[in-house]
Chains A and B, each alone.
Chain A
Amino acid sequence: MTRKKLSRTDIAGLQADLDAVRDSVMSTLGDKDVAHIRKMIRRARGSAIAGRTMLGLGFDPVTFVVGVAALAHAKIVENMEVGHNVMHGQYDWTNDPSLNSLRYEWDNVCDAGMWRHFHNYEHHTYTNILGKDRDFGYTILRLSDEQKWHPFFLLQPVWNAILALAFEWGVGGHDVQAERFLKGEMSFRQLAERSKPFHRKIRKQLVKDYVLFPLLTFWNAPRVLLGNLLANLIRNLWSYAIIFCGHFPDGTQVFSEEETRDETRGDWYYRQICGSANIEGGRAFHILTGHLSHQIEHHLFPDMPAHRYAEIAPQVQAICAKYGIRYNTANFWRQYGTVLGKVFRHALPSRRANAALAQA
């Protein structure tokens, strides 16, 4: 995999241009941004109430299907457009405790505190640096030639399917770093200690979806239980697909620790663009992805309110064109198709194209 080497002048220019884009938005934050996120919160709540009511009080298959859809929709909007973005600190400037990144807790089994560590810190700082960004392949998938092959990866289409269905569990357990336990780098006690917040959150979520709400309308308990399970599954599949399309389609690149040693913010911007991919779609689609369909803009400006990404995307794209950087954007099916292609292709051993990047 080769990528254009930008001159230091170009990197400095890129930094100045992108900083200017950032400032143009950050200096105009105000009422309309808060109105947007509050509207999304209301939308998620309203949809959850509607969905749970239909599941709990309905008897017919129609309210079941609509109820599941409404609850899945609620969880998607809450996790992706509200939770993910609020927990990135995109609304910390409002000083509203209910929009505070350190206080927010979202509706899935991943503990917010753990997520802030591995996602906000590890993944966004070390994006696509092999060996440092544990989000790259989530430590169970091989998605580039540069990753060392192991017989474990032969079955990775299966691992991929399991990860898709159980995505919230994969995300939730990510920071436990069980692979280090398996490699003998962590004792069982350390593992148990690390997983405490995860276990606490799991209990909370399981009680809510599989005890509290089924019991609330106990005569309908099996129906509610099944409906909640399906809603969680749909949310898992959707967030898995969107997130994989953001980092693993053809054209997204990986980096070595070596080449990212003395990075400036310009270098960092460059790496974020090379390591991310956008998905094209309309406004409704963008909202359902939590604007992760604008993964490039999100990785450049993770603390900018996400509903502004669409407005700056043309500027970012123009800046990329100016410096000859590929701006990776395509529709969902093309992006996801190439991700699946990689899952199958890299299950088999391959020659490492770039020796400098090869992992030991």
Chain B
Amino acid sequence: MSTPFAAIRQHALRTLQSPWLHPLNDTDALNELLGSLNPRWSLTEVRAELSGRRAETPDTVSLEFRPNRLWNGFAAGQHVTITVDIDGVRHQRVYSLSSDPAQAERLTLTVKRQPGDRQRTSVSNWLHDGLRLGDVVTLSAAAGDFVLPGAARPALLLSAGSGITPMRALLHALRQRAAAGTFTDDVVLIHVCRDRADQIFADELAALVREWPALRLVAWHTASRGRPTVAKLLEAVPDYAARDTWLCGPATFMADVEAHWQAAGLAARLRLERFGLAPRVVEGAASAEIRCERSERLFTAGAGEALLPAAERAGLKPAYGCRIGICRTCLCRKRSGTVENLVTGEQSSEPDEWIRLCVSTPRSDLQLDL
């Protein structure tokens, strides 16, 4: 698109959004009108229809969606925020894209059940049990920097449990580069899971190994061999220090691997995708009293604890999505007090600032607009 045309288009779009044209440009209304004609139609949102589902393991299902034209595709390794309404309540959750990014018309999410019988709604479990073929969900644009670099080197993919989902997309992308001749190195995927029946994508990856000799798959089954130490796991790839490494799995697993890479001075070669908040020690933290203005509630957050779980323990139900500070669903206005960001370690004391409850821990008593 040429620059003057883009500028004109920009300008026209801005004019169309002018409040003086309301209600002619009420996007909520227009989207609903379009949606009533065809649930996938929208002016502003990626709407995607469930077009297929496949059981991967007894507790994991792959969901294939057909998005509308606003979907811009994704880079292997990225994730997407999905919005669904469950019994009247809107929920947003983050899932990795597990399909081949070269397939523009389709995308796949692979979802693992949340264990236990639970009081609150589990979006993952609802995607298993409640979402029907033909149902339409709303998606964000793809996001995340857990992607392949421009020029690839030998690769090591390290995953555990459902952490294999972004690995599948990465493998697809690497395979294509190999076929195109732009990637000539080898790839090792080390995957930890309970047993063969619990191994997501097992058959499909076995088939891929057969047709692509540069790929090696190492599966570690904890049911027969117990939990591996990082050193034990790495015996299968003695040259791991020479590889670009991608890591995704449960928080404790990731913490162990991360510590190993740090100790070896390899932290710069390690890329991470977190499904949950990394455990983190907050120096000199103390528990704090949190005063909630709107609900007129008072609760205590433990030393170094994020505000979201502390509020949930007190019976409050703030909306949340990713729980690791990426989706902004749990934004809340802090009236006063100091918080520390659990991801960056930054502290801030601005009055009336927006904070994310899932990654903020109190460093003083707080007042929240909650």
Interface, chain A (partner B; CB < 8 A)? 29-35, 41-42, 45, 48, 93-96, 98, 107, 204, 207-208, 212
A212 touches which one: B24, B85, B90 (CB < 8 A)? B24
Interface class of chain A by DSSP: helix
Complex CA–CA separation, A204 to B19 (angstroms): 8
**Cβ–Cβ contact A95 & B90, under 8 A:** yes
- Which residues in B have their C-beta under 8 angstroms from that of A34? 85, 88
**Does A31 contact B88, Cβ atoms closer than 8 Å?**
yes
Please pick, from A30, A45, A93, A95, the residue contacting B29 in the complex, using a CB distance under 8 A.
Answer: A45
A27 CB, min distance to chain B CBs, angstroms: 12
- In the complex, what distance in Å separates the CA atom of A176 from the CA atom of B23? 26
Q: Enumerate chain A residues within 8 angstroms of B90, measured Cβ to Cβ.
A: 94-96
**Chain B residue total in the interface (Cβ 8 A):** 17
Q: Are A29 and B88 in contact (CB under 8 A)?
A: yes
Instruction: Among A29, A32, A98, A107, find the residue whose CB has the most chain B CB atoms closer than 10 A.
Output: A98
Q: A32-B88, A95-B89, A95-B90 are in contact. List 17 more A-B contacts (CB 8 A).
A: A30-B88, A33-B88, A45-B29, A48-B23, A94-B85, A94-B88, A94-B90, A95-B91, A96-B90, A98-B28, A107-B23, A204-B19, A204-B20, A204-B22, A207-B20, A212-B20, A212-B21
Q: How far is the CB of A47 from chain B (nearest CB, A)?
A: 13
Does B87 sit within 8 A of A, measured CB to CB?
yes
Q: Which residues of A contact B22 (CB under 8 A)?
A: 204, 208
- Please give, as numbers and ranges, the residues of chain B lying within 8 Å of A31 by CB-CB distance: 87-88
Residue of B whose beta carbon sits closest to that of A37: B88
A33 to B32, CA, bound (A): 18
B window 86-131: CB within 8 A of A: 87-91
**Could you give, for residues 7-25 of chain B, a 1 whenever the CB lies within 8 Å of some chain A CB and a 0 otherwise?**
0000000000001111110
A95 CB to nearest B CB, Å? 4
Q: Which residues of B contact A93 (CB under 8 A)?
A: 88-89, 317
A-B contacts at CB below 8 angstroms, number? 40
Whether B91 and A42, one on each chain, are in contact in the complex, defined by CB atoms closer than 8 angstroms, is no
Q: List residues 172-230 of chain B with CB under 8 A from any CB of chain A.
A: none
Q: Mark B312-329, 1 if CB is under 8 A from A, else 0.
A: 000001010000000000
Closest Cβ of chain B to A22, distance in Å, is 15
- Lowest 8 A-B CB distances belong to which pairs? A34-B88, A95-B90, A30-B87, A30-B88, A95-B319, A31-B88, A96-B90, A98-B28
Bound-state CA distance A45–B30 (Å) is 10
Q: Which residues of B contact A (CB under 8 A)?
A: 19-24, 28-29, 32, 85, 87-91, 317, 319
Considering the chains assembled together, what is the distance between the CA atoms of A107 and B22 in angstroms?
Answer: 10
Q: List 13 A-B contacts (CB under 8 A).
A: A30-B89, A31-B87, A33-B88, A35-B88, A41-B32, A42-B32, A94-B85, A95-B319, A96-B85, A204-B22, A212-B20, A212-B21, A212-B24
The chain B residue sitting closest to A216, CB to CB, is B24
Residues from chain B with a CB closer than 8 A to the CB of A33 are 88
Min CB distance B370 to A, Å, is 12
Q: Which residues of B contact A208 (CB under 8 A)?
A: 22-23
In the complex, which residues of chain B have a beta carbon less than 8 angstroms from the beta carbon of A207?
20
In the complex, which residues of chain A have a beta carbon less than 8 angstroms from the beta carbon of B317? 93
Of all chain B residues, the one with the shortest Cβ separation from A35 is: B88
Q: Which of B85, B88, B319 has the most CB of A within 10 A?
A: B88
The docked-state distance in angstroms from the alpha carbon of A48 to that of B23 is 10
CA distance A321 to B130 in the complex (A): 44
Instruction: State A29–B121 Cα separation when bound (angstroms).
Output: 14
| In the complex, residue of chain B having the shortest beta-carbon distance to the beta carbon of A204 | B19
Q: Which residue of A lies closest to B21 (CB)?
A: A212
CA distance A31 to B87 in the complex (A): 5
A212 vs chain B, min Cβ distance (A): 7
Least CB separation from B319: chain A residue: A95
Chain A's closest residue to B294 (CB) is: A89
A96 contacts which chain B residues (CB < 8 A)?
A: 85, 90
* Minimum C-beta distance from A356 to chain B (A): 30
- The complex places the Cα of A30 from the Cα of B85 at a distance, in Å, of 10
The chain B residue with its CB closest to the CB of A98 is B28
Minimal Cβ-Cβ distance residue in B for A31: B88
* Chain A residues, Cβ within 8 Å of B32: 41-42, 45
Which A residues lie within 8 Å of B91 (CB)? 95
Q: Who on chain B is nearest to A34 by CB?
A: B88
Which B residues touch A35, using CB under 8 A?
A: 88
Which residues on B sit within 8 Å (CB–CB) of A212? 20-21, 24
Tell me the minimal C-beta distance from A21 to chain B in angstroms. Answer: 20
What residue in chain A is nearest B28 (Cβ atoms)? A98
Q: How far is the CB of A255 from chain B (nearest CB, A)?
A: 22
- Distance A281 CA – B88 CA, assembled complex (angstroms): 28
Q: Which of B29, B91, B317 is packed against the most chain A CB atoms within 10 Å?
A: B29
Which chain B residues border A107 with CB–CB below 8 Å?
Answer: 23
CB of B332 to closest CB in A, whole Å:
12
A33 and B88 alpha carbons, distance in the complex (Å): 7
Residues of A within 8 A of B319 (CB): 95
Give, as a whole number of angstroms, the nearest-CB distance from B90 to chain A.
4
Cα distance, A30 to B130, chains bound together (Å): 15
Residue of B nearest to A41 (CB): B32
Residues of B within 8 A of A48 (CB): 23
Please report the C-alpha to C-alpha distance between residue A204 and residue B24 in the assembled complex, in whole angstroms. Answer: 13
Which residues of A have CB within 8 Å of B87?
A: 30-31
Q: Nearest Cβ distance between residue A230 and chain B, in whole angstroms?
A: 19
How far, in whole Å, are A52 and B32 apart by their CA atoms in the complex?
19
Q: How far is the CB of B357 from chain A (nearest CB, A)?
A: 14
A170 to B87 alpha-carbon distance, docked (Å): 39
